[in-house]
């Protein structure tokens, strides 16, 4: 019995895999295994012999069985370790971004603008592109006869014959989202609204569809000084130049009073435009203090709240930042253009990670 024991303990220790181990199990304790056959011999023994041999054989069987299962567990552990070593995946590896296309400059710049204003506490608001005449014009202090309506080259939607209500329009600016946001959220409020706008115009710097971002901040004590600070912070972050100078020129918009057009500092050397240096100026946006009538239209008491608004062309600032000469090319879907001016798809612009990598 000692020989049997030594033999199987040794063989179990030497077994290299689970199938070798299973063969051993059959050979030792299977139905016709060596130990099982020995147990059968008990029947031929005298009762005295049996009393000695029975427990011994049982103990031997138990010992072999537990050696087998201990070895089985050990082999499984080794196999698992091996798999974990072979099958690991480096999730930090850079993606192959060429294959998944590129991000359009308009989307990229929208993300950049959003990241910068989000950092200053502005939430993103949205509104419909097919807008009511009231939201696009009247609520913004542009009544029916106002020349601004004609100036905007508005696209009008079709109305059924006999329907005399004013037709809906393709929104000509993002300012109607100011009204919708005031209606929905009341004051105080701090939002930007990026989105598509439409005007019937087409040349090197105009397309019938383009993009604007609107800004609106209302509270009890907001002034032009806050507007200036917010815009200067924005330009410095967006154009990635510290201390960029701005110029506020008195202007007129029906929905702001006072109103200002804002220019940023630039230079034109050898036909090359550089933002944030030199003594040239480039107009980039319209702004002002929200007109009391506009606050009223949005359901806000102008005796309690005041604030600023601004509107800026996303395509325009994208052209300036990335040196893109013709606006029309933005919307041609020319693959070579998209590959050249597009951005890596998996690099989301953030203030800490970098805006324009």
The site for ligand PHE (CB under 6 A) is made up of 173, 175, 214, 253, 256, 286-288, 309-311
CA distances 139 to 183, 215, 260, Å, are 11, 17, 20
Rounded least distance, CB 311 to ligand PHE, Å: 3
CA distance 165 to 284: 36
Pairing status of strand 189-198 against strand 123-124: parallel
Rounded least distance, CB 185 to ligand PHE, Å: 18
Closer residue to ligand PHE (CB): 102 or 256: 256
Closer residue to ligand PHE (CB): 87 or 203: 203
3-state secondary structure of 124: strand
Rounded least distance, CB 320 to ligand PHE, Å: 17
3-state secondary structure of 318: helix
Rounded least distance, CB 176 to ligand PHE, Å: 9
DSSP one-letter code for 300: -
Closer residue to ligand PHE (CB): 311 or 349: 311
Instruction: Find the DSSP H helices in the chain.
Output: 2-14, 18-29, 34-40, 47-86, 105-119, 133-136, 147-151, 176-185, 224-239, 292-297, 314-322, 335-341
Closer residue to ligand PHE (CB): 252 or 339: 252
Rounded least distance, CB 277 to ligand PHE, Å: 27
Beta pairing partners, 282 = 264
CA distance 306 to 146: 24
Given CA atoms 103, 106, 107, 108 in this order, what sign does their dihedral have? positive
Closer residue to ligand PHE (CB): 173 or 190: 173
Closer residue to ligand PHE (CB): 24 or 179: 179
What backbone phi and psi angles, to 5 degrees, belong to 249? -105, 130
Rounded least distance, CB 265 to ligand PHE, Å: 21
Of 80, 61, 67, residue with least CA distance to 12:
67
> b vs e for 272-295, b when ≥16 Cβ sit within 10 Å of the residue's Cβ?
eeebbeeeeebebbbbbbbbbbbb
Query: Is 257 annotated to bind ligand?
Result: yes
CB-closest chain residue to ligand PHE? 311
Q: Binding site, residues?
A: 257
Summarize the annotated binding site for Mg(2+) as residue ranges.
Answer: 257
């Amino acid at each position: 019995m000692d020989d049997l024991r030594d033999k199987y303990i040794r063989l179990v220790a030497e077994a290299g895999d689970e199938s070798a181990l299973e063969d051993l199990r059959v050979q030792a304790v299977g139905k016709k295994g060596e130990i099982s056959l020995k147990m059968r011999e008990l029947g031929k023994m005298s009762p005295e012999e049996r009393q000695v041999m029975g427990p011994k054989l049982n103990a031997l069987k138990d010992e072999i069985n537990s050696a087998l299962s201990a070895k089985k567990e050990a082999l499984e552990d080794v196999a698992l370790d091996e798999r974990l070593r072979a099958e690991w995946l480096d999730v930090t590896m850079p993606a192959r971004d060429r294959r998944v296309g590129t991000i359009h400059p308009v989307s990229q710049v929208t993300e950049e603008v959003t990241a910068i204003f989000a950092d200053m506490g502005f939430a993103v608001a949205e509104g419909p592109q097919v807008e009511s005449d009231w939201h696009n014009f009247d609520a913004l202090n542009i009544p029916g006869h106002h020349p601004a309506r004609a100036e905007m080259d508005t696209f009008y939607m079709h109305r059924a014959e006999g329907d005399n209500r004013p037709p809906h329009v393709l929104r000509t600016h993002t300012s109607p989202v100011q009204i919708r946001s005031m209606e929905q959220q009341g004051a105080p409020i701090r939002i930007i609204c990026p989105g598509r706008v439409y005007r019937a115009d087409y040349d090197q710097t105009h397309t019938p569809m383009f993009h604007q971002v609107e800004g609106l901040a209302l509270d009890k004590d907001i002034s032009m000084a806050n507007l200036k600070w917010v815009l200067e912070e924005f330009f410095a972050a967006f154009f990635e130049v510290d201390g960029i100078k701005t110029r506020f020129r008195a202007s007129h918009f029906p929905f702001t009073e006072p109103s200002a057009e804002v220019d940023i500092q630039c230079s034109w050397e050898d036909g090359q435009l550089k933002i944030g240096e030199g003594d040239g100026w480039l107009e980039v946006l319209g702004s002002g203090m929200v007109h009391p009538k506009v606050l009223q239209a949005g359901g806000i008491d102008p005796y309690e709240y005041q604030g600023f608004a601004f509107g800026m062309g996303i395509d325009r600032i994208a052209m300036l930042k990335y040196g893109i000469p013709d606006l029309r090319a933005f919307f041609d879907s020319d693959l070579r253009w998209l590959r050249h001016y597009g951005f890596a798809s998996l690099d989301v612009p953030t203030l800490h990670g970098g805006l324009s990598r």
